[in-house]
Structure 1
Amino acid sequence: MKLLKIAALACALVVPMTGTVAADASAFPVKNPVLTKNALYDSGPLAATTCTELPVEAWDRGKVQAYLDEVFRCLENTWEPQLKKAGLPYEPVKVRYVKRMPKKYCGSSTSDEESQAWYCDWDRTVSLQLGKSWLAYPDDLFLFNLASQMYAYHVMKLAGLYDAGEELRAGSKAENYEQSRRAYLQSDCLGAVFMQSVWPIKGRTTADWETVVRMAGGDEPGEEPWYGKRATIQSWMRAGFRTGDPGSCNTWAAPSSKVA
């Protein structure tokens, strides 16, 4: 069971990269058509809609939760018709706010970060622990993007991508890492696809979006490569935002060089 999470400011985002024919080969090709040829990819760009940000204030937990609830409402309104258009099932995500994540949640160990967001596929719930790092600066676009990314995991679950990814078997640690990165990078890209569908957001500029992209964290040297390098994350993020189309988020068919 791969529990999907965002802890602290470790958000991720993405865009296609260039490479030679040799570099573009996939070291560990994924053959499951549910992952590589999913109906979601052929559903076309998300319909343009409007999502109004509610006012927030630093340290006002109630307003921050109301802000996030409104973003999740926008996400439901946008993704429901898209999933149905693709002939995929739909059900709303559950959202809950907790003071402290338990040490064990949804079959996995959580982190000790003060701010955390997790998606559990067992009950299709996004759980958010709003700590100081998120409550101190709630008025940038980070929280909006956070909600978009977390909902992307729910989209992946409904589209069958989540379960198909879970069922993959890896012949080596390197292959296991790459499969993990493909899943995380897909959520980064799909989150950005939604962002494009509601762009422009009143009071926001492209600079606000680029700030979110620059904030994207990635695997650092010496760390286990579960999420992707920062440049890779930012690349997929920009791809999703540029097109607004889930078809640009097919990380499962991408060559290894683009999910490093």
Structure 2
Amino acid sequence: MRMDDERESTNIEDVRGSGGGSRAPLRIGGIGGIVLILGALYFGVDPQIVLNLLEGGAAPSTTSQTVAQAPSPVDDAQKRFIARVLASTEDVWTSYFAQMGKTYHAPHLRLFTGGTNSACGYAQTSTGPFYCPVDQKIYLDLGFFKELQGRLGAGGDFARAYVVAHEVGHHVQNQLGIMQEMDGRHGTSLQGKNGQSVRLELQADCFAGVWAKRANDAKNILESGDVESGLNAAAAVGDDRLQKETQGYVVPDSFTHGTSAQRVTWFRRGLSAGDIGQCNTFSASSL
């Protein structure tokens, strides 16, 4: 990606090396807790572990004893890259919202190592990147990118940019009231191949594609192989692929993010259209 000359966002909170602090149990219900639980699926982590953390319980000893370390030069380079990607999302969504007659309020992104408190509960590396709608912050341990490239086989700049853009997509949903609408849909299934959480996640994928399309049209940031890198990242975190890898079989009724094919389809749809009007997963008869 051509990002070296782009500005860096000032909405970065870097708490790496400061330690995780004391665990704060989840104080909210609804979509805030759901989004945090969904983040665990990036790693194929048992959601019950996250639920235990949200309730103020202890994590497994190997995780709870994580000691925060000072950022390495590689991490600092990644921080600068993430700050540039975040700035790009700010520019794109500020312009897009203005076209709709709305004001975009950019999220903050907190970089942490090991664990940190959020308004949605205690976050740690094993929960994966996630967006908390209560404090409107994105939480990211840069160690996730090693997992993305190593275990999940999805490396490259645009794969990392896709992760950030997806979480920003959740913030866009929050800003547009989509999350609140979903939270009020009582009696509808959250999980399952056609569940509400799947539709929420696929729409965030589509919004990530919208960002990439508009950012590239404005500043020509994409290079050869970048789109493939993003599509590979989307496929790497499909429910079917993660379940097959972690437990050896697939359970569609437990899906929360969508299949690899679905994630690629909706990301590609946003990337092609550059229009959030093409991202209405909630009215789609087929995902």
TM-score normalized by the length of structure 2: 0.63
1:124 aligns with 2:136: yes
- Aligned residue number for residue 141 of structure 1: 158
Residues 88 and 158 of structure 1 are in contact (CA less than 8 Å); yes or no, is this contact kept in structure 2? Answer: no
Distance 1:118 1:250 in 2: 21
Answer whether contact 2:31 2:183 (CA < 8 A) is retained: yes
Q: 1:7 to 1:146 in 2, by over 3 A?
A: farther
Structure with more of its chain in helix, by fraction: 2
Partner residue in 2 for 1:158:
175
Partner of 1:248: 278
Counterparts of 1:24-43 in structure 2 under 5 Å?
none
Say if 1:215 and 1:252 are closer, same or farther in 2 by CA, change over 3 A: same
Q: Which residue among 107, 128, 132 is the counterpart of 1:93?
A: 107
Root-mean-square deviation (Å): 2.9
Question: Could you say which structure has the greater relative contact order, defined with CA pairs below 8 angstroms and 6 or more residues apart?
Answer: 1
Aligned to 1:222: 251
What code does the residue aligned with 1:178 have?
G
Residue 208 of structure 1 deviates from its aligned partner by 2.4
C-alpha deviation, 1:133, in angstroms: 4.0
Number of residue pairs matched by the alignment: 207
Give secondary structure in 1 for the equivalent of 2:195: helix
Question: 2:230 pairs with 212, 218, 230, which one?
Answer: 212
Q: Unaligned regions of 5+ residues in structure 1, if any?
A: 11-57
- Counterpart CA distance in 2 for 1:136 and 1:192 is 19
Q: Name the counterpart of 2:82.
A: 68
State the identity %. Answer: 21
Please tell me the residue identity of whatever aligns with 2:223.
R
Match in the other structure for 2:31: 2
Measured in 2, the distance between the counterparts of 1:229 and 1:132 equals 20
Are the aligned partners of 2:107 and 2:137 in contact in 1 as well (CA < 8 Å)?
yes
**Closer, same or farther: CA 170–74 of 1 in aligned 2, 3 Å:** same
Task: Provide closer, same or farther for how the CA distance between residues 167 and 193 of structure 1 changes in structure 2, counting only shifts above 3 A.
Answer: same
Counterpart of 1:232 (choices 259, 262, 277) is 262
Q: Alignment partner of 2:86: what SS?
A: helix
